[in-house]
């Protein structure tokens, strides 16, 4: 990881030097274009504020009149032209390095397209590193929070890379690019707002169904809280704008004061962070789907069946029956494919409202399904998924055993992540279940990812804040020079 960071900084420095040198070499001349619409240019006037330029050549090209200029003295210069009844005046900056920029201090210069090109190269390299690490970690073990984090960051960086790449073909200087980037964050957020509302509605319905089935609890309300958060965050910049509009101390229209820059910082920070969080959520969904669709090898010595609530008469609920049936189905396929049998480990203790333990209920079902009693080991102590895996693993005496687990499809990723936390690499299979379980499971793992990989996310948030400060700082300087 440290080597990748060092390489990224080295590449950044090299690209910065190349960009600076290219602009320094070619930026001392500039082709200033006037859209004349075929009208004759009557007069070209150079008005020196503090700087000086020299006109090298004048070219008439269809509906455009192009003036090639060269810098002579640092400062500001106005260049006006008359064509027809229209008079146009343009502002140029001649920097101390003699580079000419159009319209503002950080405007377009000759060969300034090297800036978005260099940034695109850097972002592509960062993507290459992230994708390589993600593929290696996924191959090593799919059930890792870092896989979700890396995938979410990859999606986020991909969006920034595409946005930056497209700016190459419509580049009008650093200042213009920053303003467009800030506006694009707002535009993307408004596009996502209807999706956020629909998600909020679906999550609310899902949570109501989940509460009816599993009861009222904080974890069953996580999706609802997230939906509300996304909707409110999308609207927050408009509320901030309204507050600043009414404020007597802050003028958001005064480009020489702090008002517009405070609002721009808050707006961009919210939109970027919401976009980032949504990318992590997408990453969670993708990894969860991959974990269910992953084909596991038919070489297993044991399969752990994760328990859940049983009926009052000691028989299996449809949810638990699905898990046991899935384990039996896998065992039969393995037996047919390789001739290798395996041992079932039904896992689950006895709740206060249960007549027997979940493990015993599953064992009874296995025996009725034709599974030999010698092929069944029971864990009747565990109370949750963490203990299911921990206590079941203690029953396995064989070293380097190949172990699978069977659960419901929405629970595969979470169970795999818990196994990884215990230093175990297991493969999971999932039985089908209702959609509303899936939605809340995605939210739960999304929050788990944020917590587990908090250092990575904090680093990204810090980089986002630093980037925004630099962007807003450049716009402030450009408007106050």
pLDDT confidence of residue 265? 80
pLDDT digits (tens, 9 = 90+) for 85-110: 667 788 889 999 999 998 888 888 99
42 pLDDT higher than 80: no
Q: Summarize the confidence of residues 340-365 as an average pLDDT.
A: 91
Q: Are residues 284 and 314 in the same domain?
A: no
pLDDT (mean) for 153-174? 83
Instruction: Convert the pLDDT of each residue in 292-315 to its tens digit.
Output: 888 899 999 999 999 988 888 889
The band of 184, judged by pLDDT with boundaries at 50, 70 and 90, is low
- What is the per-residue pLDDT for 338? 94
pLDDT range class, residue 256, cuts 50, 70, 90: low
Report pLDDT for 250. Answer: 61
Strands 41-48 and 75-83 come out as antiparallel
Is 426 domain-assigned? no
Output the average pLDDT for the chain.
82
pLDDT of residue 333: 95
Whether 131 and 245 map to the same domain: the answer is: yes
Per-residue model confidence (pLDDT) at position 198: 67
The two structure tokens encoding residue 27: 């930026």
Domain-embedded: residue 386: yes
Q: Judge whether 353 lies within some domain.
A: yes
24-28, 160-164, 196-200, 276-280: segment of lowest average pLDDT: 196-200
- 121 and 235 fall within a common domain: yes
Contact status, residue 188 vs residue 275, Cβ threshold 8 Å: yes
Same domain, 260 and 281: yes
Say if CB 176 and CB 105 are below 8 A apart: no
Residue 80 lies in a domain: yes
Q: How many CA atoms lie within 13 A of 76 on its CB side?
A: 12
Could you tell me which residues are beta bridge partners of residue 86? 83
pLDDT band for position 270 (cuts 50, 70, 90): confident
pLDDT of 347: 94
Rounded distance, CA 210 to CA 418, Å?
22
- Please tell me the predicted confidence (pLDDT) of residue 187: 61
pLDDT score at 28 = 93
Q: Which residues does residue 225 pair with via DSSP β-bridges, in sequence order?
A: none
270: domain range? Answer: 114-291+451-480
Instruction: State the CATH number of the domain containing residue 341.
Output: 3.30.1330
Q: Quick one: which of 307, 308, 309, 303 has its CA closest to 340?
A: 303
Residues 168 and 271 in one domain: yes
Span 230-252, pLDDT tens digits: 667 666 666 766 666 666 566 55
| DSSP sequence for 150-210 | HHHHHHHHHHHHHHHHHHGGG--BHHHHHHHHHHHHHHHHHHHHHHHHHHHHHHHHHHHHH
Q: Which of residues 257 and 433 earns the better pLDDT score?
A: 433
Same domain, 216 and 246: yes
Between strands 64-73 and 100-102, the pairing is unpaired
**Band of pLDDT at residue 330, cut at 50, 70 and 90:** very high
Indicate whether 363 belongs to any domain.
yes
Predicted local distance difference test score (pLDDT) of residue 385: 87
- Identify whether residues 270 and 336 lie together within a single domain: no
At 214 the pLDDT is: 57
pLDDT at 262 over 80: no
Q: What is the pLDDT of residue 275?
A: 77
Q: How many domains does the chain have?
A: 3
Q: Are residues 270 and 357 in the same domain?
A: no
CB 89 within 8 A of CB 17: no
Binned at pLDDT 50, 70 and 90, residue 13 comes out as very high
Domain stops at, among 98, 129, 156: 98
197 and 329 share one domain: no
Same domain, 272 and 368: no
CA pair distance 229, 191, nearest whole angstrom: 17
Position 331 in a domain: yes
pLDDT digit string (tens) for 116-146? 899 899 999 999 999 999 999 999 999 998 8
Residue 104 lies in a domain: no
Together in a domain, 146 and 252 = yes
Query: Which has more pLDDT, 37 or 329?
Result: 329
pLDDT tens digit sequence for 54-71: 888 888 777 777 888 899
Name the least confident of 152-166, 336-350, 431-445. Answer: 431-445
Indicate if the pLDDT at residue 216 is higher than 90: no
**Shared domain check, 229 and 149:** yes
Per residue in 379-397, pLDDT (tens digit) is 999 988 899 999 999 999 8
In a domain, 420, yes or no: no
pLDDT of residue 454: 82
**Which residues 6+ apart lie within 8 Å of 233 measured at CB?**
270, 274
Backbone angles phi, psi at 84, to 5 degrees: 70, -130
CATH label of the domain that carries residue 46: 2.60.40
Average pLDDT over residues 182-192: 60
> Is the per-residue pLDDT at 253 higher than 60?
no
Per cent of the chain over pLDDT 70 is 78
Q: Is the pLDDT of residue 185 over 70?
A: no
Backbone angles phi, psi at 49, to 5 degrees: -85, -60
């Amino acid at each position: 990881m440290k080597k990748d960071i060092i390489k990224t900084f080295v590449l950044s420095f090299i690209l910065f030097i190349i960009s600076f040198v290219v602009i320094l070499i070619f930026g001392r001349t500039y082709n200033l274009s006037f859209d004349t619409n075929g009208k004759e240019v009557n007069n070209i006037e150079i008005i020196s504020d503090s700087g000086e330029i020299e006109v090298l050549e004048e070219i008439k090209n269809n509906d455009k009149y192009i003036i090639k200029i060269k810098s002579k003295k640092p400062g500001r210069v106005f260049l006006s032209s008359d064509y027809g009844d229209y008079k146009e005046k343009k502002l140029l900056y001649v920097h101390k390095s003699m580079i000419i920029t159009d319209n503002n201090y950080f405007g377009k210069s000759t060969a300034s397209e090297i800036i978005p090109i260099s940034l695109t190269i850097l972002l592509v390299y960062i993507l290459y590193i992230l994708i390589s690490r993600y593929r290696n970690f996924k191959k090593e073990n799919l059930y890792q929070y870092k896989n979700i984090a890396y995938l979410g960051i990859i999606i986020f960086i991909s969006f920034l890379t595409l946005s930056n790449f497209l700016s190459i073909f419509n580049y009008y200087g650093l200042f213009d690019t920053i303003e467009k980037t800030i506006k694009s964050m707002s535009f993307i957020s408004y596009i996502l707002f209807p999706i956020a509302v629909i998600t909020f509605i679906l999550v609310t319905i899902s949570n109501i169904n989940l509460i009816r089935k599993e009861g009222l609890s904080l974890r069953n309300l996580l999706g609802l809280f997230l939906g509300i958060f996304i909707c409110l965050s999308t609207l927050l910049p408009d509320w901030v704008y309204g507050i600043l509009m009414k404020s007597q101390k802050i003028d958001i229209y005064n480009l020489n004061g702090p008002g517009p820059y405070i609002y721009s910082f808050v707006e961009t920070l919210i939109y970027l962070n919401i976009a980032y969080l949504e990318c992590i959520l997408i990453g969670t969904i993708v990894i969860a789907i991959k974990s269910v669709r992953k084909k596991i090898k038919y070489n297993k010595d044991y399969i752990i069946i994760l328990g859940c609530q049983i009926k009052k008469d000691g028989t299996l609920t449809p949810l638990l029956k699905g898990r046991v049936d899935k384990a039996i189905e896998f065992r039969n396929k393995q037996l047919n494919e390789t001739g290798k049998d395996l041992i079932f480990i039904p896992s689950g203790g006895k709740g206060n409202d249960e007549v027997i333990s979940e493990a015993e209920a599953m064992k009874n079902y296995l025996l009725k399904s034709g599974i030999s009693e010698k092929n069944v080991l029971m864990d009747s102590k565990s109370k949750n998924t963490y203990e299911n895996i921990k206590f079941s693993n203690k029953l396995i005496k064989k070293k380097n055993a190949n172990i699978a687990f069977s659960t419901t499809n929405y629970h595969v990723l979470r169970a795999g992540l818990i196994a990884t936390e215990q230093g175990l690499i297991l493969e999971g299979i999932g039985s089908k279940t209702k959609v509303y379980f899936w939605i809340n499971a995605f939210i739960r793992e999304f929050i788990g990812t944020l917590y587990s990989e908090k250092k990575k996310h904090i680093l990204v948030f810090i980089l986002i804040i630093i980037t925004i400060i630099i962007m807003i700082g450049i716009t402030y300087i450009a408007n106050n020079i």
